[in-house]
Chain A
Amino acid sequence: MSAPIDTAPHDGAPGDSGESRPLLRLRHLSTDIALRRGTVHALDDVNLEVRPGETLGIVGESGSGKTMTALSVMGLLPSGGSVVGGEILFEGRDLRSLPPDEVRRIRGVRMGMVFQDPLTSLNPTMRIGTQVAEPLRVHEGVGKAEARARAIEMLRRVGMPRPDKIVDDYPHQLSGGMRQRVAIAMALICSPRLLIADEPTTALDVTTQRQILELIDDLREEFGMAVILVTHDLGVIAGRADRVAVMYAGRVVETAPTAQLFASPRHRYTEALMESLPESVTQETGARGRLYSIPGLPPDLSRPLNGCRFAPRCRFAAPECHTTEVPLSAGEHRYACLHPVTATTTATTVRAVPVSPPAEEPEAAPEPILSVRGLVKDYGATTGGLLRRASGQVSAVAGVSFEVRPGETFGLVGESGCGKSTVGRLVVGLEKPTDGQIVLDGTDIATLSHRERRRTHRQVQLMFQDSYAAMNPRMRVDAILAEPLEIQQVGDPSARRARITALLDQVGLSRRVLERYPHEFSGGQLQRLGLARALALRPRLIVGDEPVSALDVSIQAQVLNLMRDLQRELGLAYVFISHDLSVVDYMADRIGVMYLGKLVEVGPAHDVVRAARHPYTQALIDAVPSAAPGRAAPRENITIRGELPSALNPPTGCRFRTRCPIAEQICETEPPLAGDLHQVACHFPLRPEPGTTAAPTG
């Protein structure tokens, strides 16, 4: 935005004018981490600068060194880690050569840091106020009463309701978004010049994420400080940062003003990363082709590396890429690539039309494989203590109905705590519904005997978010994949063995993995194994509970592509549960949006995302940060404030009415899920259902 034009890289000599002098400058920064198995060169020759008042976004996949950069600046490296080379120039002074006391003061007072997980970055045994004021007491020796007053003032500025009451609360009494506000207040209490936010919103829901990002933006202007926003999410960067640095394998590969970077990325890695985003496909064509996925895995940083580090995975790598060290180019838009993207070689322009025909073929709708009717799940909440009095019911799922047809993907979206995972667990039979029917292939599983129900597990399988946690760490892969076959007594050992090798081929893993243990695999490979195990019994329906949420963008694209290929090959149906609207939009044929245990909107994916009828859906869509900076420009959209109400005492009538911007008296009565193909449960739908003429019968 107001970033000064400052092209020539200068030395930060004392004679520089204050305006263009960078606040923080990293020169040839190298950081090593000594591990059992060798030394990992986490950062190698990183050059970055942050100017006063600007937001620098650092983006990269896990292991790219983006967090290590932040930790090196703050001096918070994990054990075994140390800065081994280069300079960290803060306001012109090298933190590495200053006396430790001075450095401690600079880091404590002039810089602030916000961590990813607000749950673990706050001390659970300290009151909020004491915690927020702690830096003041340490660095400025402020008295108790004044510290408290300033903590309250700070909490007010980060938008905490009733700050004078909250100062005396403990962290567990606050929600995730509120805790992150406290963490920000703590970072800002000494009015730092630089705020480092390391994935500040990754653990939060999209609507909360938006609030926090806006808060950081406002505070930046108010305090006139610089912000380093570290994230893996291109969308978060696109809307907020002035300049972006893309990191890969411990190096900065491209830096540019945000708009320029997103409009015309030059480095091949940046380009590939953007093409891996599900929204890159859905946005352009509306239909869904295959995602571009970067093959392979990032390099092992404990080994010596030559040439461009992205070369082994690059589509455009030439022989010299593997051997030549590539420095960053000069100028405002710098990149370290020998064969950068130019107008004529843009890969995006040659994207072909999708191979898969659109799903809306008007053939006679087949019988649904899964039909859920009026599903209800309550959990009895008990007070602690000896007598375990029932203190109420947590209404996790309250009357959910939907159908899934063979070969179809039904997407279930919603914020955490909306009951979407519970629906998944009910469908696979991990829990028993309080009320309602789950009809699988024409039979209600509630009416089955114990033995018959165990057989239904062959039809439906579950895929977990964290496949590592879902695999016994003491079992080898062959035992893990054979387990479902053993449990269901399918075939003899040799037949099982044959089935397992066939499965590995299907998910694209080599047979050598059979003798390995889960901890030896990367996240993407584990997800492939999880899919293989889910497929072992030849199910017709797979329930995926956030199957790609823990993966990096490029790996996520690999797994999504694989899931779609297998769906086409095997005629699988998916229930795809995710909080990420863009992923669901890419994967699903139909989408159901859940809010606090109820489906508020069900309809074809395209319509739900592009012509939402429920205000909650629209708010969700508006909150999703888009990687296209133009789209994130301010416009009239629905923002919701506040947080998800407790499911212990859900609001009567429409459960969204407490946060709905257009709620009226009538919303205290429950709206039915109305409509033909694109159903919505709202008294004031945003738009009428589009002409039902195109609707197929059924």
Chain B
Amino acid sequence: MTTPAETTGNSEGTPAQPDETPVRGLWRQGVEVFCENRLALVGLAMFVVLAAVCFLGPLFYHTDQVHTDLAAVHLSPGTDGHPLGTDGVGYDQLGRLMLGGQTSIIVGLAAGILATVVGTVWGAIAGFAGGWVDAAMMRLVDAMMSIPSLFLFMLLAAIVTPSVSMLIVIIGAFAWLGPARLVRGEALSLRSREYIQAMRSMGGTGGRAVRRHIIPNAIGTVIVNATFQVADAILYVAYLSFLGLGVPPPAANWGGMLSDGLADTFSGHWWLLYPPGIAIILIVLAFNFIGDGLRDAFEVRLRRR
């Protein structure tokens, strides 16, 4: 009307503040926060080193992990050609650690991811649908959770012949219960959010709500949980192998090696016991550190100024 500020019409109060700061994607902000967490970086480094040793190591350090060599059993570390010694059937311990690490990491990652994906979808649908659908879906989860998982693993492992892919399926088939519960709780609170209502008032469907709104907003919880799932899966492989239900020889994994080494506890063959045990601890610790860092990263991304 009469003052200059009024006549600018719709452009009055055009944002000045956001334009001053450079556009930064949520991912970049998240990465920055993740990097601020020292332990998370340590965890990431530990994982990268362990994976590199296991998968790239055999390319430079050739050992025979198929044929036993009874002439060279229980050689102590430092023996020529065997930096970590040999085990009870003459396999090179360092080479075996690499081979066993491959199995543990592959099974752990694959089973963890499988469990997370299945659990997330299951939980998101149950939580969003609510009512009897939710009740039916979650009672199934409760029922399965009430059975001790180790008992089930043993049962299944005794029925089917364990192989790497079988282990993935067996562990994944039970590990998804945790993420399902978690995501269902998250979905329950997310579905009453106003942006879901806004979407509905535009005529959006339930499928869209789950796909575009619920799962993306639960993703922080999901990914953090996924790292712990991977760590758990690695431990499960170790348990099963420790109980003699892991992949059959000559394939190896850390849990199995630990189990074999236990027999030698009192014969002074410490190099059969400590290396696989430490390797398991390190990789589980690495994933837990990464999980903590990711949790911070996802939290900060949503913090309002």
Q: Which residues of A contact B (CB under 8 A)?
A: 37, 289-290, 292-297, 300, 315, 347, 350-352, 355, 428-430, 453-455, 457-458, 461-462, 464, 466, 468-475, 483-484, 487-488, 505-510, 512-513, 515-517, 519-522, 524-525, 533, 537, 555, 558, 561-562, 565
Contacts and interface: CB of A to CB of B under 8 A. Distances in A.
29 contacts: A37-B305, A289-B1, A292-B3, A293-B5, A295-B8, A296-B13, A300-B17, A453-B203, A454-B203, A457-B201, A457-B203, A469-B193, A470-B194, A470-B195, A470-B197, A483-B202, A487-B202, A487-B204, A487-B208, A506-B10, A508-B11, A510-B14, A513-B15, A515-B23, A516-B23, A519-B304, A521-B15, A525-B15, A562-B10
Nearest to A524: B13
A355 B17 contact: no
B201 A462 contact: yes
Contacts of A517: 26
Interface in B1-25: 1-6, 8-19, 23
Contact of B305 (A507, A520, A555): A520
For the residues of B in contact with A, the DSSP-based class is: helix
A455 B213 CA distance: 21
Given A292-B3, A472-B195, A508-B14, 20 more contacts: A37-B305, A289-B1, A290-B1, A293-B13, A296-B16, A300-B17, A315-B4, A347-B3, A430-B197, A457-B201, A466-B194, A470-B195, A470-B197, A471-B195, A473-B302, A483-B202, A487-B208, A506-B10, A520-B305, A558-B13
A475 B211 CA distance: 13
Contacts of B19: 510, 512
Contacts of B194: 464, 466, 469-470
A471 B198 contact: yes
Given A290-B1, A508-B12, A510-B19, A472 B203 contact: no
B303 interface: yes
Contacts, number: 134
Given A355-B1, A516-B23, A558 B12 contact: yes
A292 to B, nearest CB: 7
A555 B15 CA distance: 12
B199 interface: yes
The 9 closest A-B pairs by CB, nearest first: A457-B203, A508-B10, A454-B203, A470-B194, A484-B202, A469-B194, A462-B201, A470-B198, A487-B204
Contacts of A300: 17
Contacts of A37: 305
B130 to A, nearest CB: 14
Contacts of A561: 12
Q: Which of B18, B212, B303 has the most CB of A within 10 A?
A: B18
B197 A472 contact: no
Contact of B202 (A457, A507, A508, A522): A457
A555 B304 CA distance: 19
Contacts of A515: 23
Contacts of A533: 198
A565 B10 contact: yes
Interface in B284-305: 302-305
Contact of B2 (A350, A487, A488): A350
A293 B12 CA distance: 8
A289 B2 CA distance: 12
Contacts of B38: none
A120 B200 CA distance: 31
B303 to A, nearest CB: 7
Contacts of B202: 457, 461, 483-484, 487-488, 537
B215 to A, nearest CB: 10
B18 A520 contact: yes
Contacts of B8: 295
A397 B287 CA distance: 54
B217 A473 contact: yes
B148 interface: no
Given A300-B17, A510-B19, A516-B18, A295 B5 contact: yes
Contacts of A565: 9-10
B231 to A, nearest CB: 26
